[in-house]
Each structure stands twice: as C-alpha cells, then as structure tokens.
Amino acid sequence: MKPIAPLFASALLSAVSSTACAQDALNDIVRSSTNTKTTFAVFDVRPAGTSLEGIQEAVAAAFRKHYDGIKVMQQMAPYPLPAYAPRMGFHQESLRGSIVSAPDCPQAAAIVTSSDGTLARYGEASVLQGCVFPYRDGYRVNVYALFVQKSGGADVNVLGAMFGRAITNAVGIGDSSRFIGETVDDVETRLKALAPDVALVELQPARAGRTLAADRAAPAPAAPPIAAPMAAAPAAGASLPPELAAVQARLAAMVGQQRPQPAPVDGQASPALQARKDLSAMGLTYYSQDQFVEAARRGDRLACELFLRAGSVTVTGADKQGVTALKVAATPELADFLRGQVH
C-alpha cells in the first residue's frame, strides 16, 4: 500500500490546482466518514447425529481462510433439545457514531468469532461470528459478518487505500468485503463435506445466483404477551400525567392476547410502532440497550415493557459497560418479569 500514497498525494495536488468543481470533489474525499456492511446467513444441517465438533471446526476453518483472530467457544447445549430451530438474536450498539447490530447467541452450543484488524491501518476491519444451534432434527449454523470501512480524513494510509479501492473497483475486484461472501460460501462447502443434508435457508442481503431452500424446520413459538405493568397506587390527591396514563392503558389493554397481532389497518399503528412512539414521547430511544438497562436499574417497569415491545433490545443484551438489565433490575418483581421475557 505504501507506494500508492505518493500517487494519491500527486492526484490531490493536481486537483487543488484545477477548477472549483474539482476543489469540491477534494473536500468530499478528505472529509472523514465510516461505512458499515452486514451479512447474515443461516444453514440447516441434518441429521441430528452430525458431529457438533465437526460443524464447529468447519466454521472455524472457513473463517481462517481469510481472517485472523479466530476464537472458538463451546457452551452447554439446551436440554431437552428444542423442537424448533433457534436463531441468532441482535442488539444495537454504537460504533463511531453509527448504530450497528451485534449478535447474541444464548442458546448456541458453539460460537466461533473472528476480529480481523489486519487492514485496520488502511481503514478496513471485519468482525465475524458463527453460532451453532442444536435442535431436535439437526443443527442451525448462523453466520453474521460486519464490515467497517473508513474513508477520507488526514490519515495517509486511509487516503492511499481509497485511491487503491478506486482502481480495484474499476477492474471489478472491490474492497476486502468481498471475502465475506467467499467465507459464507466456504462455510457451506465445508458443511456439505461433513453432513449429507445442508440447506441455505436465509441470506441477507440477497445475492445473485444464490437460491434459498424451503425451510423445513419448525418455527419458534410465538413470544408470550408482556404483562400489564404493576403500578403502585398513586398517593392521595396524586395522579399519573395524562401521557403516561395513556401509555399504561394501552399496555393494560394488551393483557391476555395469546395470538400474534394482525397487520395494522386503516393507518392504525402496530404494538411495536406504538411502543416506539411512546418511548420517544418519554425522551427515550427505542433501540438503546444502554437506556433499557438504565430503566431496569431505576425500577421503571413501564419503560422496560415498552423497550421489549418495541423489539430492538434484548434482556440478555449488555450495555456499553457489559451489564444486562436482568443483572441490575431494581426489584425482585422486575427481575422475575425480565426473566420471563428470555426466549
């Protein structure tokens, strides 16, 4: 990469001496920004007797082909095995001003991760996680990848890498994010060498030439409804603010609903959307794991219920200090409620 930097500096000098339009382009290049890309794939592996260690090593070997910093961790498999196929969950985290999804795998029997910073000095980094979930009929292998790319700024290595990417994009090579797709394909190849029945059942984003198989696994059961808040009776002469009273009334109306909510009609907001609006009215951000944990710490069950109904935080997710809502719940009643929301 080092020989590229002087060439890019020369291009910058040429742009400076050119027209005002070129000067605007120069400003766009030097301005620093961070972009992220995510990939998510799910493989169904059968039969149930396939070696867990073999699946784990297949994922690790595929990761090692392009990435460093591989770590493998085995966990206790759930007992009895669930009839449905578990799936990787996600919580939101802040990364250099951008909100990104971070994976959660509480039911996984094996977790493989890679934190590759080989190209960090050139503004590129990749983080991958593979989770192996056993269930009654086989295994689910979930693969998640986050690619981070920095552009612009004063770092000569990053600027040189930008110039290099411009050349490689022109000839169809692209940046190092292409290795993520190759890694997902390699995971599939190695799993097929290990088990007789492997199917790709989910891929985000969709990729040309990749067709998804029909998902034969039983779906996870619907989440139980969130109970109405157990609010203490107001003191004599006191009453809830009208906004909070309306929120509490909506939650109470949802008690006893055992079936999934129908799609909104005639402009009516879904429960999740309404919860997000309620949280916003309370000055809270519906996808903030930190604010969810803080609500549990202060014993604010109403806010906790709204966060969970909004659907962008998890009870097992941690805040920036590595603390979960369940760990800091202010009351035993709130802790019991949160424990009941772990799926």
pLDDT value at residue 9: 28
pLDDT cut 90: percent of the chain above it: 31
CB neighbour list of residue 152: distance below 8 Å, 6 or more residues apart: 28, 29, 30, 31, 32, 33, 158, 159, 162
Confidence of residue 91 (pLDDT cuts 50, 70, 90): confident
Min mean pLDDT across 12-26, 93-107, 290-304 is at 12-26
- Reference 206, options 39, 35, 37; nearest CA is 39
pLDDT value at residue 173: 39
**CA-based torsion, 64, 127, 175, 192: positive or negative:** positive
pLDDT of residue 164 exceeding 60, the answer is no
pLDDT value at residue 278: 86
pLDDT value at residue 98: 60
From the number of C-beta atoms within 10 Å of its C-beta (0-12, 13-18, 19+), residue 146 rates as buried
From the number of C-beta atoms within 10 Å of its C-beta (0-12, 13-18, 19+), residue 243 rates as exposed
Min mean pLDDT across 36-40, 169-173, 193-197 is at 169-173
pLDDT of residue 257 exceeding 50, the answer is no
pLDDT of residue 307 exceeding 50, the answer is yes
Domains 33-204 and 242-255+268-339 share a fold: no
State pLDDT tens for residues 112-158.
998 765 555 556 778 899 999 999 999 999 999 988 776 554 444 44
pLDDT value at residue 7: 25
Average pLDDT of the chain to the nearest whole number: 73
- Reference 184, options 156, 167, 205, 163; nearest CA is 205
Report CA-CA distances (Å) from 288 to 37, 92, 191, 304, 308: 20, 7, 36, 11, 11
- Letter for the amino acid at 128? L
pLDDT of residue 328 exceeding 90, the answer is yes
Select the CATH number that applies to the domain covering 33-204 from these four: 3.10.105.10, 3.20.20.150, 3.30.160.110, 3.40.50.1110: 3.30.160.110
Provide mean pLDDT across the span 250-263. Answer: 48
Architecture of domain 242-255+268-339: Alpha Horseshoe (1.25)
State pLDDT tens for residues 6-60.
322 232 223 223 323 333 433 444 445 557 788 999 999 999 889 999 999 999 9
- Residue spans of the domains in the chain: they are 33-204, 242-255+268-339
Kindly report the CA angle at 199 between 194 and 202, in degrees rounded to 5?
130
pLDDT value at residue 294: 92
Considering only residues 226 and 125, tell me which one the structure prediction assigns the higher pLDDT: 125
pLDDT value at residue 142: 96
Confidence of residue 95 (pLDDT cuts 50, 70, 90): low
- Could you tell me the two tokens for 204? 């985000």
- Best-predicted range by mean pLDDT among 164-168, 207-211, 219-223? 207-211
Confidence of residue 247 (pLDDT cuts 50, 70, 90): low
pLDDT value at residue 262: 46
Min mean pLDDT across 17-21, 89-93, 310-314 is at 17-21
Considering only residues 66 and 176, tell me which one the structure prediction assigns the higher pLDDT: 66
